[in-house]
């Protein structure tokens, strides 16, 4: 009877130890997983060179940032949307900016990162608003995450060396702007002048980008 009791006690201790080992492995694995998820999300900083990337347009044609921006004095990356009324308020203004600065060889690149907006919508929207520049689909929000883009419209201005020089809003109002952030910084970059530190970043006005959920630590801004 005593031998049976000892055997039972031994197995009970083994089960408890095994349980603690399993919990420890799960905890460590979870911690490592979260750490890797955080490490994967890298963002470009102001005054740093933007890494090359390739995305497809509505016709399925791939476009690389470095190829599009080659020999350009400046490149404007715009995060756009088809279902955002604020972005639509800016559509005519964006088309006018593209027309004005195309004469100065500035490259505009649109990016749609909204998970719910389909390729067909993007194509129709571009044609409707006369967007004569590539608008690329960012299906997994990787480029939005890289730039730290939160809203539409939101712009990121690169100089001739593809250094990020400005990030934020196009101007200070969707209706009647009195300050023209993008235009002012574009003029400085094109002429090779420095942008004042206080003018390098503004808060974008618009709808939040609807992201896909990648990990438990992902957050839609």
β-sheet bridge partners, residue 156: 77, 167
Residue 10 falls within a domain, yes or no?
A: yes
Is residue 129 a part of any domain in this protein? yes
Phi and psi angles of residue 29, each rounded to the nearest 5 degrees, phi first: -60, -40
Pair (203, 145) in one structural domain: yes
Domain count, the chain: 2
Q: What is the predicted pLDDT for the residue at 218?
A: 47
Pair 97, 188 in one domain: yes
Say if 77 falls within a structural domain. Answer: yes
193 and 113 housed in the same domain = yes
What is the extent of the structural domain holding 136? 54-208
pLDDT at 15: 43
pTM over 0.85: no
pLDDT, residue 214, reads 67
Task: Please report whether residue 45 resides in a domain.
Answer: no
Question: Residue 76 is part of a domain; what is its CATH number?
Answer: 3.40.30.10
Mean pLDDT, the chain, rounded, equals 85
CA 210 to chain centroid, in Å, comes to 11
In tens, the pLDDT along 148-195 reads 999 999 999 999 999 999 999 999 999 999 999 999 999 999 999 999
70-119 per-position pLDDT tens digit: 999 999 999 999 999 999 999 999 999 999 999 999 999 999 999 999 99
In this predicted model, what pLDDT tens digit does every residue of 26-74 receive, in sequence order? 443 443 333 333 445 689 999 999 999 999 999 999 999 999 999 999 9
In what order do the strands lie in the sheet containing 154-159? 62-64, 54-57, 135-137, 107-112, 74-80, 154-159, 164-168
């Amino acid at each position: 009877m005593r031998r049976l009791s000892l055997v039972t006690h031994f197995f009970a201790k083994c089960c408890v130890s095994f349980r603690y080992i399993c919990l420890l492995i799960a905890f460590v694995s979870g911690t490592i997983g979260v750490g890797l998820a955080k490490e994967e999300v890298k963002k470009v900083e102001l005054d740093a060179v933007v890494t090359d990337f390739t995305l497809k347009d509505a016709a399925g044609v791939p476009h690389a940032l470095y190829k599009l921006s080659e020999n350009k004095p400046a490149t404007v990356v715009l995060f756009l949307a088809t279902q955002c009324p604020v972005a639509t308020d800016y559509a005519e203004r964006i088309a006018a900016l593209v027309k004005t600065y195309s004469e100065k060889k500035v490259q505009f690149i649109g990016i749609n990162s909204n998970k719910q907006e389909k390729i067909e919508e993007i194509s129709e929207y571009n044609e409707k608003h006369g967007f004569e520049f590539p608008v690329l689909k960012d299906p997994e929000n990787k480029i939005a995450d890289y730039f730290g883009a939160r809203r539409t419209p939101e712009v990121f201005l690169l100089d001739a060396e593809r250094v990020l020089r400005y990030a934020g809003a196009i101007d200070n109002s969707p209706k009647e702007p009195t300050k023209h952030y993008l235009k002012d910084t574009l003029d400085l970059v094109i002429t090779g002048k420095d942008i004042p530190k206080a003018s390098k970043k503004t808060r974008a006005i618009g709808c939040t980008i609807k992201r896909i959920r990648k990990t438990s630590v992902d957050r839609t801004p």
